[in-house]
Structure 1
Amino acid sequence: MTSAGNADAGNGDWLVGNPTGAQLASALWIGSVGLLILGLQPVLLGALYTEGHVSGDELALVATAEMIAIGIGSAAIAMMLSAHNMRLKSAVLLLLLALANCATAYALTSTSLIAARAVAGLAEGGLVAVATELIARSRRAERIGGFFVTLQTLAQCALALLLALYVIPAAGSAGGFIVLAVVCIASVAVAFIVPDSYADLPKEEQFSNVLTVPSLAALLSVFCYFMFFGSVWAFLEPLGAQYGIDGRTVGLIVSANLALQVLGAMTATVFEARIDYRFAIVAIGVVAVASSVVLAGSPGLTVFWVAALIMGLILLFIVPYQIRLAITADETRTAVLLVPAAQLFGLAIGPVAASLLIDGKDFRPVPEFAAASAAASVVLLGLFVLIARRRRAIA
């Protein structure tokens, strides 16, 4: 963040550097552009399926390839590249993403679609790293992380509404991806407000720092939690159909779920400093298990609504506390840079793992798998706490 202040020592709010509010906001927006697709996949990929560009199986491959590529991109760029020349890197990644979105709009085969979305995912992951690198340098990383998830979810909701009501009815899925490309190109102007170089963290960042039991336990806890949500989110419509809930109603539930994700993120931003991260993660894990068990028990329409909406409320509420968990596990803050990758891999692997348990048209094993994933997240937190206490006792 030498553009904001060349001194390595930060001010009261930053470990190193001193970015202005505009520079911080621009970095968070760049990261949000990288994650727009998370809220738009149901709209855009649904349009691709309706138009006959992909089959059901191919649709799953397209979605999974992009999610995994985002996780790889965010981890690889954060770990392997220096946090310098960030303006140029941001601009290049935005243009690459714009090209990938245009390629998606004009792709003629499922193979070319998968390839285009995989390239898009790598660029999107790089954009996420622009934001997370800066968040990791803040003394209030949890709070800024809460602002980040709030901004990205608000942008997803607004763009999803625009695409669903106006763009896709008029121009189809191709029009939707062209709009995404336009957003990327317009955001290049914002890229030149990002701090050109982020000052180095107090300790040298090395990948080996992450390969410790506490860091791995923390990241696996994050991964398992997002497997819980990813599995239910992917199969919400067929699960509802099994219980006699029509697709239109499930679509309304999805829209309300996104709105509650925004509310959850905003609420966490307000309360993150007042709640111990361990209590928050355990409490949310218990709620996640309970909601999943309810969905596995053939609920009626009202109970189905409530359980699904609770899942949306807690999804992003937990993120600031997961950031605090990663910081506690690794004082070099390298693990924090891998939190988005753990989240995205969980969202991608959850549906794939849950699909292996589906028996014919019985989708109840999906929420059962989700409950087990949420429980595993809490168990891994417990493992982390035990290891941390043991190390303090030895020290």
Structure 2
Amino acid sequence: MTQQQQTLSSPAAPNRFRQLPAATADSTLARLMLAFLATAGLFYVNIMPALVSGLIEGRAFSARDAGIIGSCNVYGAAVGAFIAIFLVKKIPWKAASASLLLLLISIDLLSMLLDNPLPMMLLRALHGLTGGLLVGIAFAVMARCGQVHKAFGMLLLVQFGLGGLGVMLLPPLVPLYGSWVLFMALISFSLTALLMLAFLPAYPLVTADPTQLPPPIRYRPLLAAILAIFMFQAANMALYAYIIELGEQAGLSIAIISPALGVSAWLGLLGSVLVIWLSTRLGRAAPVFISIVITAAATYALHYSASASIFWLANLAVGVTWAFSIAYLLGVCAEFDKAGQMAALGGFASKMGLASGPLFAALIIDGGSYSGLINIAVGLLLLAAAVALYPCRILDKAPGADVAPSVK
């Protein structure tokens, strides 16, 4: 057993962050708490439709301003994730995570007081920067786990499960109580992650053997994986940010739209569970390619959103395949570097895509229809599927590839 395996599979030791027993490093409980930590910095993405709709309904912001606020939030996160790439090897990740969570809570409290779009854009960009740093750190720690696909599968399990609850419950509450409920939801999640942080193990950075050179990073497949992540996230988020308005323009009521979004996000749990169960049993290339193509087909079906049944089915399909595909794609980046820097780089690409989608959509649909946006999203998804094949095949064919003959 290697030094790294001994570190990751060793029994729980007293937690230095607080004198509390820590979870075993490679346990399902530890993966769950890491998933909460990573989600806390970017939970607003999972409730983006509720956030955009809430700012329009609760604060009378225009659709364009609300979309740009969402983009500012995620662009800030992208910058934070990029900075995290250079910090993950140098900082005590637990102390940094606690500080960032407290700052997130403070910014969300301040956001309740603003009713002007420009200050809100600036403040949410700062929120995104803080959250992006947190997510980048969490991704780097997750990359130190064994069976990294399971860690990212758990991440998507948390994001889609609680995100589904958010998009189902929050939009109807905004007209009754105001948009402050959106920020209270974010604060509650950050507080939960802060409590869980105390029970996480240390996940120390394993020092490489100085007599052995680390394997060189293959930048071509890595860049292909990063590009695929960016296109996939941008295409999905461009529509997801405005999915409530899209449904309403098609003639559907919020009583139909909100449950559809909530259930679709919960079905994302199925996609996450499939990743955890399947792992690399069938490799990566075939599952990722098929899943993204299904996402593209379901996205195209949104042209027919006037039918409540088609709107529901399209969102349900995207819910499953979005979680399934992105967990694999993030895992592909993480496998290039167990120190976690490439995982943080994958997180940066993800956030750039998530930020660019709403911004691009805000510029296209301002005063127009959603048909052109749907077509562009479908094209991006198909291109992402083609690009993702290259890095997935490289890893599938690599000697000693992380292929699990059985998944526990």
TM-score range, shorter chain: 0.7 to 0.9
Identify which of 179, 193, 198 aligns with 1:192.
198
Equivalent residue for 1:43?
50
Following the alignment from structure 2 to structure 1, what is the Cα–Cα distance between the partners of residues 166 and 307?
31
Task: Rate the CA distance shift 1:172–1:203 in 2: closer, same or farther, 3 A.
Answer: farther
Residue 206 of structure 2 aligns with an amino acid whose one-letter code is D
Q: Assess if the C-alpha contact under 8 Å between 2:8 and 2:146 holds in 1.
A: yes
Could you tell me which residue of structure 1 aligns to residue 178 of structure 2?
172
How many Å separate the matches in 1 of 2:171 and 2:156?
Answer: 22
Q: Which digits, 9 at most, give the CA deviation of each residue in 1:27-49, with x for residues without a partner?
A: 33221222321223332442232
Counterpart of 2:224 in structure 1 is 217
Letter in 2 for 1:52: R
- Residue 303 of structure 1 pairs with residue 304 of structure 2: no
Deviation string, structure 1 residues 114-167 (Cα, Å, up to 9, x no partner):
12211211221122123211221123000111012112332333455564566x
Instruction: Give the residue type in structure 2 aligned to 1:293.
Output: Y
Distance 2:9 2:141 in 1: 10
Q: How many angstroms apart in 1 are the aligned matches of 2:363 and 2:186? A: 33
1:221 is matched by which residue type in structure 2? Answer: A
Match of 1:364 in 2: 371
Aligned to 1:274, the other structure's residue is in SS state coil
Distance change in 2, residues 1:152/1:308 (3 Å): closer
1:1-395 → structure 2 map (5 Å cutoff): 9-11=4-6, 19=25, 21=27, 23-52=30-59, 54-82=61-89, 84-159=91-166, 163=170, 168=174, 171-185=177-191, 187-196=193-202, 198-200=204-206, 202=208, 212-296=219-303, 300-327=307-334, 334-358=341-365, 361-384=368-391
Q: Distance in 1 between the 2:280 and 2:394 partners?
A: 24
CA–CA separation in structure 1 for the residues paired with 2:205 and 2:265: 35
CA separation of 1:221/1:77 partners in 2, compared to 1, >3 Å: closer, same or farther? same
Higher mean alpha-carbon deviation, 144-153 vs 94-103, is at: 144-153
Between the aligned partners of 1:203 and 1:339, the Cα distance in structure 2 is: 26
CA distance 1:82–1:238, change in 2 (3 Å): same
Specify the code of the residue in structure 1 equivalent to 2:179: S
Tell me the distance in 1 between the aligned counterparts of 2:382 and 2:40.
32
Residues 283 and 396, structure 2, Cα contact 8 Å, conserved in 1: no
Give, in angstroms, the shift of residue 102 of structure 1: 0.7
The separation in 2 between residues aligned to 1:136 and 1:247, in whole angstroms, is 40
Distance 2:255 2:221 in 1: 44
Cα deviation digits, residues 283-305 of structure 1 (max 9, x gap):
01221222233334677432332
> Contact 2:333–2:343 (CA<8 Å) still a contact in 1?
yes
Which secondary structure state, in structure 1, belongs to the residue aligned with residue 140 of structure 2? helix
Q: Which runs of 5+ in 2 are unaligned?
A: 13-23, 211-215, 400-408
**1:65-99 Cα deviation digits (max 9, x unpaired):** 01111222123123334354222111100110011
Q: Which amino acid aligns with 2:180?
A: A
Q: What is the CA-CA distance between 1:64 and the residue it aligns to?
A: 0.3
Native 8 Å contact 2:89 2:339 kept in 1:
no
The AA in structure 2 aligned to 1:306 is L
Instruction: Assess if the C-alpha contact under 8 Å between 1:84 and 1:198 holds in 2.
Output: no
Of 59-68 and 29-38, more deviation after overlay is shown by 29-38
Contact 2:152 / 2:330 at 8 angstroms: preserved in 1? yes
Measure, in 2, the Cα distance between the counterparts of 1:110 and 1:356.
16
Cα deviations by residue, 1:229-253 (Å, 9 ceiling, x for unpaired): 1122133344434544344422332
Deviations 1:250-297 (A, max 9, x none): 233222221212222122222223222100111012212222333346
- When residues 108 and 285 of structure 1 are mapped into structure 2, their CA distance, relative to the original with a 3 A threshold, is closer
Alpha-carbon distance in structure 2 between the residues aligned to 1:301 and 1:44: 23
- 3-state SS, counterpart of residue 287 of structure 1: helix
Structure 1 spans left out of the alignment, 5+ residues = 1-6
Q: Is the 8 A contact 1:225 1:373 kept in 2?
A: yes
Q: Residue 170 and residue 236 in structure 1: after superposition, are their counterparts in 2 closer, same or farther (change >3 A)? A: closer
Quote the sequence identity (%).
Answer: 20
Report the 3-state secondary structure (helix = DSSP H, G, I; strand = E; otherwise coil) of the residue aligned with 1:318.
helix
Count of aligned pairs between the two proteins: 380
> Are the structure 2 counterparts of residues 76 and 107 from structure 1 closer, same or farther at C-alpha, using a change threshold of 3 Å?
same
Paired residue type of 2:178: G
TM-score computed with the length of structure 2 as normaliser = 0.80
